[in-house]
């Protein structure tokens, strides 16, 4: 079980690190370097070539992260049921993941549209100039927002993951379980049936506490 947890956590963390780092480097590095190309009609093709090279690596990183995240969700489900606050953090993490996936997918679609535009004159990869067609400029304006939204969302995922790691410390686990048990005991239905204590006991025994 320990080896399984290590593998899942490694997939989760390494995939997320590549997703975050790649998006940030792309915004600063790939797009920034392409904007310095002297020929304004070659700026989009240069950036498109760089992003195309990164896309398969990014897809593999996202896949590894998602596989690790799902695996961790399954293995940590008993603690989610028993420890107060873990469920809320997991819900927030899921929402951020969905948002990052949507932003990444839409960004790739916009990037493909720019790539098909060919040698269009632009001020930068995400900045049009006076010669840029309106449809290309519209894609650029959306990409300018998304290139920062993706690292912001994945960066927030890293922060939430760190917080959830803190929740796994013995003291936090104990306080969270006591808080959940206290909440269940003060619920009229569970007080009448004793369901809260029974659920708590089963969850703690599954978790080895």
Q: Which residue has the higher pLDDT, 119 or 197?
A: 119
Q: Examine the domain organization and report whether 151 and 175 are in the same domain.
A: no
Query: In this model, does residue 206 exceed pLDDT 60?
Result: no
pLDDT for residue 154: 98
CB proximity list for 207: less than 8 A, separation 6 or greater: 78, 79, 82, 173
Query: In this model, does residue 92 exceed pLDDT 70?
Result: yes
Share of the chain above pLDDT 90, in %: 63
> Into how many domains does the chain fold?
2
Q: Examine the domain organization and report whether 20 and 106 are in the same domain.
A: yes
Q: Examine the domain organization and report whether 117 and 163 are in the same domain.
A: yes
Q: Examine the domain organization and report whether 153 and 185 are in the same domain.
A: no
- Report residue 142 CA to chain centroid gap: 20
Burial of 127 (0-12, 13-18, 19+ CB in 10 A): middle
Q: Examine the domain organization and report whether 160 and 185 are in the same domain.
A: no
Q: CA 82 → CA 89, 167, 171, distances in Å? A: 14, 12, 14
HSE (CB half, 13 Å, CA atoms) of 115? 13
Q: Examine the domain organization and report whether 138 and 64 are in the same domain.
A: yes
Q: Examine the domain organization and report whether 31 and 112 are in the same domain.
A: yes
Q: What is the mean pLDDT of residues 42-66?
A: 96
Nearest to 117 by CA among 136, 134, 137, 131: 136
In the numeric block, which tokens belong to residue 85? 């606050």
pTM of the model: 0.78
Q: Examine the domain organization and report whether 180 and 119 are in the same domain.
A: no
Q: Which residue has the higher pLDDT, 194 or 50?
A: 50
Are 9 and 147 in contact, with CB atoms under 8 Å apart?
no
Average pLDDT score, the chain? 83
Q: Examine the domain organization and report whether 175 and 94 are in the same domain.
A: no
Q: Examine the domain organization and report whether 156 and 201 are in the same domain.
A: no
Query: In this model, does residue 209 exceed pLDDT 70?
Result: no
pLDDT band at 108 (very low <50, low <70, confident <90, very high): very high
Helix axes 170-185, 134-167, angle to 10 degrees: 90
Each residue's pLDDT tens digit, 126-156: 999 999 999 999 999 999 999 999 999 999 9
**Number of other CB atoms surrounding residue 67 within 10 Å:** 15
Q: Examine the domain organization and report whether 94 and 129 are in the same domain.
A: yes
pLDDT for residue 23: 96
d(CA 184, CA 190): 6
DSSP state of 39: S
Q: What is the mean pLDDT of residues 158-183?
A: 67
The range of the structural domain enclosing residue 160 comes to 2-168
Q: Which residue has the higher pLDDT, 81 or 199?
A: 81
DSSP state of 118: -
Q: Examine the domain organization and report whether 133 and 205 are in the same domain.
A: no
């Amino acid at each position: 079980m320990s080896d399984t947890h290590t593998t899942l956590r490694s997939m989760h963390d390494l995939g997320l690190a590549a997703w975050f780092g790649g998006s940030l480097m792309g915004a600063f590095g790939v797009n920034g370097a392409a904007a310095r190309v002297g020929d304004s009609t070659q700026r989009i093709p240069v950036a498109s070539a760089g992003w195309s090279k990164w896309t398969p690596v990014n897809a593999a990183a996202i896949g590894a992260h998602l596989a690790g995240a799902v695996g961790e969700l399954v293995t940590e489900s008993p603690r989610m049921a028993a420890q107060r606050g873990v469920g809320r953090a997991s819900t927030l993490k899921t929402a951020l993941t969905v948002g990052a996936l949507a932003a990444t997918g839409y960004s790739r679609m916009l990037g493909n549209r720019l790539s098909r535009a060919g040698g269009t004159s632009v001020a930068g990869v995400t900045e049009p100039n006076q010669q840029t067609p309106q449809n290309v400029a519209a894609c650029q304006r959306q990409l300018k927002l998304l290139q920062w939204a993706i690292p912001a969302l994945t960066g927030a995922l890293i922060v939430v993951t760190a917080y959830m790691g803190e929740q796994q410390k013995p003291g936090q686990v104990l306080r969270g379980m006591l808080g959940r048990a206290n909440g269940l005991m003060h619920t009229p239905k569970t007080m009448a049936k004793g369901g809260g204590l029974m659920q708590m006991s089963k969850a703690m025994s599954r978790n080895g506490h």
